[in-house]
Amino acid sequence: MANPVVAIVGRPNVGKSTLFNRIAGERISIVEDTPGVTRDRIYAHAEWLGKNFNLIDTGGIEISDQPLLTQIRQQAEVAIDEADVIVLVVDIQNGVTDADEQVAKILYRSDKPVVLAVNKVDNPERRSDIYDFYSLGLGEPYPVSGVHGVGVGDLLDAVINHFPETADNEDDGTIHFSLIGRPNVGKSSLVNAILGENRVIVSNVAGTTRDAINTRFTAKDGREFTMIDTAGIRKKGKIYENTERYSLMRSMRAIDDSDVVLVVLNAEEGIRELDKHIAGYAHEAGCGVIIVVNKWDTIKNKDHRTMTDFTTLIRNEFQYLSYAPIIFVSAKTKQRLNQLPTMIEEVYDHSRRRIQSAVLNDVLMDALAANPTPTQNGRRLRVYYGTQVAIQPPTFVIFVNDPDLMHFSYQRYLENQIRRAFDFTGTPIRIIKRKRQ
């Protein structure tokens, strides 16, 4: 089940980004010490009272050459399209403005629940001023201070009350995978080629995201797959065609529904910055990842080093995806596409692999013997034991005397030793440091 989406909207200078950072910065799950991951603050994973959700800062959507009110209206339309719950941010210092009223009317006509946040209530004496905002017709206004965090908890309580009820989804036995990437990398062509290559039985499956197309098919070996296709999904209007960040939001919804993500690159155009944005989100979400280099047929004068050189370039640009396998394909000629289902299945199985604690600790002890733990300020890190606590991605808790003594480089060393002992190709693994009681 995809996480609910909460969008923050409002006119400029009301503190949307400050509130976004307050909610996301304290509760966002970020993989630290991971070089090369480029994060775009328009989109974040967040959590409140055990409820996970995705947060959109529409203030990060840049719409140039448009009148101010038109920009605000377009951002509100993006929120209506994407969000399950909308937070309208207003500013107590300026009171109710024409722009506030215009956005409120748009949101009021939508079928989405709206929570009204009155920002910059830094002084308790100003709380009585919030009642003017009842005139917007959006219900109770919640006084908050994005800078100091005052009232944010009450605001989030109201937000999560609007989340749809989530029933426990039974595992239907299919592997869910998505194709993500910037526009024009050939995702649509790959989708059609994958379906045609396998001579599959195709049926429509109701998608958990509103706009992605979920297609179930059966591979030659009988394994069931559900392909989540975000390719070619466009909305009418110039904003949707020209805003790359909007396509990123759609990719994020597909990632949430996926067991394995195919990060599609365009061999003809090479690696772009947006490629790293999107791939970084797949890594942080903990999905299995396969890097698919499409349009390989367009590369002329290939020799025995062409593929090796491109692989080296990918490894340099996507250092955080060193575990991800790379495959060079062509949707046009269907080169190597028959290998994709098997590769997806293998990555899926690796992401669900469980390691017995006794076997894991044998590997850890061998790693400690080969490379003893470092000392810091006269204190030596002591590693007592480890255990696996989760799958998708495989997550290990390592109990130590003091988590602060484990430098990220030594943690990376332990991760590499675990990967060397067990095949986790295609899946990230998480290591959690915990002090032994």
Q: Are 182 and 247 in contact (CB under 8 A)?
A: yes
CA distance 159 to 425: 39
The answer to whether the annotation marks 362 as part of a ligand binding site is: no
221 annotated to bind ligand: no
Q: Between helices 244-256 and 273-284, what is the axis angle to 10°?
A: 20
Peptide bond into 372 cis (omega under 30): no
- Other C-beta atoms closer than 10 Å to the C-beta of 192 total 13
Integer Cα distance of 165 and 326 in angstroms: 38
Is 121 annotated as contributing to ligand binding?
yes
Q: Are 91 and 15 in contact (CB under 8 A)?
A: yes
How many Cα atoms are found within 13 Å in the side-chain-facing hemisphere of 160? 17
User: Is 17 among the annotated ligand-binding positions?
Assistant: yes
Q: Judge whether 296 is annotated as a binding position.
A: yes
- H or E stretch covering 8: strand 5-9
CA 368 from chain center: how many Å? 34
270 is annotated as contributing to ligand binding: no
The answer to whether the annotation marks 231 as part of a ligand binding site is yes
Q: Is 151 annotated as a binding residue?
A: no
94 Cβ neighbours under 8 A, 6+ residues apart: none
Q: Read off the tokens for 170.
A: 């039974």
The phi, psi pair for 140, rounded to 5°, reads -70, 125
- Residue 233 known to bind ligand: yes
Beta strands in 281-429 (DSSP E): 288-294, 326-328, 375-376, 379-380, 383-390, 395-400
- The reply, when asked if residue 59 is annotated as ligand binding, is yes
Q: Is 122 annotated as a binding residue?
A: yes
What is the C-alpha to C-alpha distance for residues 73 and 75, in angstroms, rounded to an integer?
5
Q: Is 14 annotated as a binding residue?
A: yes
Q: Is 294 annotated as a binding residue?
A: yes
Q: Is 171 annotated as a binding residue?
A: no
Provide DSSP, 328-348. E-BTTTTBTGGGHHHHHHHHH
How far apart CA 54 and CA 61 sit, in angstroms, is 16
Backbone angles phi, psi at 324, to 5 degrees: -85, 130
Consult the annotation and say whether 184 binds a ligand. Answer: yes
Per the annotation, does 297 bind a ligand?
Answer: yes
Amino acid identity, residue 6?
A: V
Binding residues for GTP, by number, are 10-17, 57-61, 119-122, 181-188, 229-233, 294-297
Binding residues, by number, are 10-17, 57-61, 119-122, 181-188, 229-233, 294-297
